[in-house]
Amino acid sequence: MAATTWPTPNWPQDVPHDVSDYEKPLYSVLDESAQAYPNLVYTLFNDATRTYAQVKDTADRVANFLVSGGIQKGDRVAIFLPNLPQYPAIFFGILKSGAVCVTCNPLYTANELNYQLNDAGAKVVFCMDHPQLYPTTVAAVKDSGVESVIICSVKSYLPKIKALLGGLLGKIPKAQHHESGHLFFDEIVASAQPRPPAVEINPAEDLALIIYTGGTTGVPKGAALTHANITYDLKASYEWIRLVHEPGAKPEKVRKGGHHVYLGVLPWYHSFGMTCALLSACAAGAKLICIPNPREGNPPFTDVLKIVQKHKPTIMPAVPTIFVAFTNHPHLARYDLNSLMGCFSGGAPLPPEVCRQFEEKTGSVIFEGYGLSETAPIASVNPTSLAQRKIGTIGFPLPGTDIKVIDINTGLNELPRGEDGEIAICGPQVMQGYWQRPEENENVFREIDGKRYFLTGDIGHIDEEGYILITDRKKDMIIVGGFNVYPRDVEDILFTHPKVALAAAVGVPDAKRGETVKAFIQLKPGKTATAEEILAFCKENMAGYKRPKIVEFRDALPVSNVGKVLRRVLRDEESEKAK
């Protein structure tokens, strides 16, 4: 794609407007780091480490096993695992076999997993030896095309003493019964040769990943991503990010070769965690800390704070609810988080007050970006320098990416700067399309000025300095007496209340105004408040049509496994009440 100069005086110095040399097989990211840094640690899990050479060796064996078992180029192979140290080797092994990886949410029920396996046409699934996840897999593969189930145990990936004690004390997760014919990961790795097949990959055309999205708004759809979709995102984000590695030093690109440690708190089945943690760490020859469940500990998130203090991660991609959990942790002051150089926020809009509180309490810096599973996922990022960062915006498009704001009705007419419309993205990271959904593809792609743009469903605008702002999801907009109310506007203000930990705003039926705003509030630990107190605060800080008329307190708001607050769930609950 020809370079396009984004219209802003604040484009970061030394960052190119385009990138090249990214069209290569995605598994080359592992091969290159294993060649350059064979003895450096890639994964860290419960103090046990795996080097780049070891992960490549296992990936090569996985590829050999899959092809020996009949997997051919283009076949789909699923991973139904939390963030375990086997994950990278399995992922890269699938790609080396020429197959397409299908990542599955480990919180899925059997019915949900069965739907995804059938929709993708998966022939093999890797799952965890676990009293819940394995039975879910067993039930899900019935009435599916899955031919092989591979069971992964954490025992062999623990330090020997922990594995021994865990086995003796029964603390290592294990299913009570294993179905006949199912295979064990350690055994297939031991028996396979570290010789991957010679498969010709066309990075721009051949799929690497089918990642499911849309589950919060309807039936999940598979975003079909090519090798080049993802390698572009890795290359472009590397060119974009600048970090201050020593106090007073000039910001520079992410240093490679073991300099950085990535905290893997985001689930790797999701595009954000996959690209910005698992793959970005690999591309940098960095260490990746495997966190299967960041909520562990008493109170929740205590264990991950202990890990931060012990292993000193430097880079943490996370969603706003994780920043909120850190900031409001009652024992945060006991832990040293000063190792964090850069925290990258995405997955949901970052309320400015959440950003301010996290940086104030931890000394870290957050840079907000934007993207979707359909864009592998990064489409834009704030400049990673404090001088050019603009809190509350998503910055500028990545080098080689173009973003337009178009009219909501036709999706064809570009709107003037400052006017809200639908965000449309054109770039090398935009997916090939939804898997086997031609009608959906017609709905979300438009040709504008001879280029193919993806309609995101997000509403936003470009300000006078060229920064992009996301106002809200098109489907979440509330119409109050003819006025458009964007839930994010309401939530950002609610987050500034000193007692509010999480907030969500949804529209509920109103006989006079069509809809009215209802606020759901999760208070900070140990805090109490009344609805009248919140409503009075809103009256002081919001225009009349935006103000919530109803307030409901919840011990916890519903969130996805990635950490997005699920407004849809709250709306559905209100709809049921109204019946």
Taking residues 148-161, report their average pLDDT.
91
Query: In the CATH scheme, what architecture does the domain 477-578 have?
Result: 2-Layer Sandwich (3.30)
pLDDT of 78 higher than 70: yes
Angle at 485 between CA 483 and CA 486, to 5 degrees: 150
550 has pLDDT over 80: yes
What is the rounded distance in angstroms from the CA atom of residue 230 to the CA atom of residue 376? 6
- CA distance linking residue 417 with residue 463, whole number of Å: 6
Band (pLDDT 50/70/90 cuts) for residue 215 is very low
Strands 366-371 and 342-345: parallel
Domain with CATH 3.40.50.12780 in the chain: 221-471
Tokens read off for 291: 């966190």
Is residue 430 within 8 A of residue 452, CB to CB? The reply is yes
In the predicted model, is pLDDT for residue 328 greater than 90?
yes
Average pLDDT value for residue range 454-460: 93
pLDDT tier at 165 (50, 70, 90 boundaries)?
low
Lowest mean pLDDT among 63-72, 212-221, 422-431: 212-221
Pick 183 or 214 by higher pLDDT.
Answer: 183
% of the chain exceeding 90 in pLDDT: 79
Residue range 238-247: mean pLDDT, rounded: 92
CA distance 80 to 102: 9
Give the other-Cβ count within 10 Å of 227's Cβ.
Answer: 25
Tell me the DSSP string of 39-90.
TSEEEEETTEEEEHHHHHHHHHHHHHHHHHTT--TT-EEEEE--S-THHHHH
Q: Does residue 438 carry a pLDDT above 90?
A: yes
Torsion of CA 270, 273, 274, 277, to 10 degrees: 180
DSSP assignments along 450-487, one per residue = TEEEEEEEEEEEE-TTS-EEEEEEGGG-EEETTEEE-H
Amino acid 441: pLDDT: 95
In angstroms, how far is CA 339 from the centroid of its own chain?
22
Q: Dig out the tokens for 132 from the structure.
A: 């819940």
- pLDDT tens across 386-410, in order? 889 999 999 999 999 999 999 988 8
DSSP sequence for 238-296: HHH--B--STTPPPBPPPPSS--EEEE-S-TTSHHHIIIIIIHHHHTT-EEEE-S-TT-
pLDDT over threshold 60, residue 117: yes
Average pLDDT, the chain: 93
DSSP state of 328: T
The identity of residue 161, as a single letter, is: I
Beta 76-80 vs 100-103: how paired, if at all? parallel
Confidence (pLDDT) at 63: 98
Q: Residue 290: what pLDDT? A: 98
Report pLDDT for 536: 95
Whose tokens are 């001088």? That residue is 387
Three-state secondary-structure class, residue 101:
strand
Cα dihedral 130→69→99→24 (10° resolution): 110
**What's residue 305's pLDDT?**
97
Please list the residues that pair with 44 across neighbouring strands: 49, 289
- What superfamily in CATH does domain 221-471 come from? ANL, N-terminal domain (3.40.50.12780)
Task: List all residues 6 or more positions away from 117 whose beta carbon is below 8 Å from its beta carbon.
Answer: 78, 102, 104, 125, 140, 141, 144, 145, 146
* Pick from 19-23, 76-80, 133-137, 154-158: least confident: 154-158
Q: State mean pLDDT over 124-136.
A: 96
Around 169, how many Cα atoms within 13 Å sit in the side-chain half-sphere?
8
CATH of region 52-202: 3.40.50.980
Question: What is the rounded average pLDDT of the residues 148-175?
Answer: 82
Average the pLDDT over each of 99-103, 156-160, 439-443, 575-579 and give the range with the smallest value. Answer: 575-579
What pLDDT is recorded for position 216? 36
The stretch 27-37 carries a mean pLDDT of 98
* Residue 406 vs residues 66, 153, 154, 410, 412: alpha-carbon distances, Å: 45, 49, 49, 8, 6
Where in 323-374 does DSSP place strands (E)?
Answer: 342-345, 366-371
Q: What is the pLDDT of residue 249?
A: 86
Residues in the chain: 579
Q: What is the pLDDT of residue 218?
A: 57
Tokens of 513: 């105004």
> So what's the pLDDT on residue 217?
44
pLDDT category at 1 given cuts 50, 70, 90 is: very low
**Where in the chain is CATH 3.40.50.980?**
52-202
Q: Which residue intervals of the chain bear CATH 3.30.300.30?
A: 477-578
| pLDDT at residue number 513 | 76
Percent of the chain whose predicted confidence (pLDDT) is above 70? 97
Token code pair at residue 452: 């193919």
Please determine, for residue 170, whether its predicted confidence score (pLDDT) is greater than 70: no
Query: Of 432, 423, 414, which is closest to residue 376 (Cα–Cα)?
Result: 432
Q: What residues are paired with 384 via a beta bridge? A: none
Cis preceding linkage at 85, omega within 30: no
